Structure 1
Amino acid sequence: MSALGAWLKAIARVTCVACAALGVAVASGNASDSVALERYRLDPARSGVAFDVKYLWHSRLSMRFGRMRAQLAGAEDGLAAARVSVTIDAASLETNMPFVAGIVEGDEMLDAARYPSIRFVSTRFVRTGASSGLLEGQLTIRTTTRPVTLVVTFDETPRGAPGDARPLAFSADGHFSRAAFGLSRWPAAVGDDVHMRIYVEFVRERANP
């Protein structure tokens, strides 16, 4: 069985999600009482959300959010039936231009004090290849919700010592118009097209029932 096949088989057995700040644990529900359960914990050091946008014509403004929560539910019938949600702490912004972070978080842009969360909720997954797919969903920034489509790539690169369980990892890349979300300030200096990338990596654990 390929690494991707093992990934999908594991996802199909998921029956519940317990989520905490920067952590997700998923327990399998079809193992017998005498068999150890599988759990998947989000690795916060290898997971995150980033935006980048053209700045002053020749530069890119890179933004990373340091705090996020993720949830995977309804995957009993496979990944195509699953619902993925990611909640980003809008006030945890870090940028390659530190003085810009406070401006972006301020009331003329994200207004993180009034709208502390940016949220993505998936609505449909369509496989496009052995290690790729399209994830459709709804992105909410401030009070505006718009549909977005993310290109998903499964990471099958092995990591860790030989014999260790492979992590479950994928990235999701997409674009959105900031003007469509009411974030249209400084059009002469900041581009409209925002590139969004979500990367998550889950560590497999074994636990007795």
Structure 2
Amino acid sequence: MSNLKELSGTYLLDPTHTRVGFVTRHAMVTKVRGSFNEFSGSAYFDIENPENSSGEVTIQVASIDTRNADRDNHLRGLDFLGLDEYPEITFRTTAISPTGPDTFDATGDLTVKGVTRSITIPFTFEGQAADPFGNTRVGFEGSTTINRKDFGITWNAALETGGVLVSDKVVLEFEVSAIKQDTEAEG
């Protein structure tokens, strides 16, 4: 990171190189991993005045993918995400705070199934590079754990051996590649 000032500007998520995923325990003994394949987002970074930075992501619930069609359909339904009434999950920052030379916290409002809660996602800056098309590209990774019950997602099934089928804790994972927008061309 030779010159952080060069990072200041507006970025759009590159959906072909970004992963918005999740992990939760299943049957108390294994993990189910999934992702959302359709989303859009943008961020504005002001390196000199980080409090002016912002970001937002809109995720299409219909694009949930756990590599199991029956499970995906159940997750889209009323027991979980309620696709018909709530087709999008959104996250909008309320604060971006540096926590180290290559780390920051993105605090914001996460809305799932019509319920909004404030969460904080710790991110690590993974670097910047010029891609083959001449774009400035940056990478970030972050994750945080939420309780799905905080968003009104309470469905579960008891197991004969004790415990429940689906954990309340869900780890949200973000592997982000974003492309800097040419502000001079927007003129």
5+ long unaligned stretches in structure 1: 15-25, 27-39
Task: Give the total of aligned pairs.
Answer: 178
1:179 has 2:149 as partner = yes
Q: With structure 1 as the length reference, what TM-score do the two structures score?
A: 0.75
The AA in structure 2 aligned to 1:50 is G
1:156, distance to aligned residue in structure 2 (A): 2.0
1:136 has 2:136 as partner = no
Choose 165-174 or 48-57, whichever is displaced more.
Answer: 165-174
Q: Does the 8 A contact of 2:129 with 2:138 survive in 1?
A: no
1:21-60 equivalences under 5 Å are 26=10, 40-60=11-31
1:181, distance to aligned residue in structure 2 (A): 0.6
Q: 1:10 aligns with which of 6, 9, 22?
A: 6
1:205, distance to aligned residue in structure 2 (A): 7.1
The AA in structure 2 aligned to 1:48 is R
1:157, distance to aligned residue in structure 2 (A): 7.2
Q: 1:73 to 1:88 in 2, by over 3 A?
A: same
- Equivalent in the alignment of 2:93: 122
1:84-103 equivalences under 5 Å are 84-103=55-74
Deviations 1:40-92 (A, max 9, x none): 55322111311111111111111100000102248496443112110100110
Percentage identity across paired residues of the two chains? 22
- Equivalent in the alignment of 2:175: 199
The AA in structure 2 aligned to 1:189 is L
Q: Does the 8 A contact of 2:130 with 2:137 survive in 1?
A: yes
1:204, distance to aligned residue in structure 2 (A): 4.9
1:198, distance to aligned residue in structure 2 (A): 2.0
1:61 has 2:37 as partner = no
5+ long unaligned stretches in structure 2: 158-163
Please give the secondary structure, in 2, of the residue aligned with 1:45. coil
1:168 has 2:144 as partner = no
Q: 1:178 to 1:168 in 2, by over 3 A?
A: same
Q: Does the 8 A contact of 2:149 with 2:168 survive in 1?
A: yes
Report the Cα distance in structure 1 between the residues aligned to 2:125 and 2:178, rounded to whole angstroms: 12
Please give the secondary structure, in 1, of the residue aligned with 2:153. coil
- Equivalent in the alignment of 1:20: none
Please give the secondary structure, in 1, of the residue aligned with 2:105. strand
Please give the secondary structure, in 2, of the residue aligned with 1:46. coil
Report the Cα distance in structure 1 between the residues aligned to 2:130 and 2:7, rounded to whole angstroms: 19
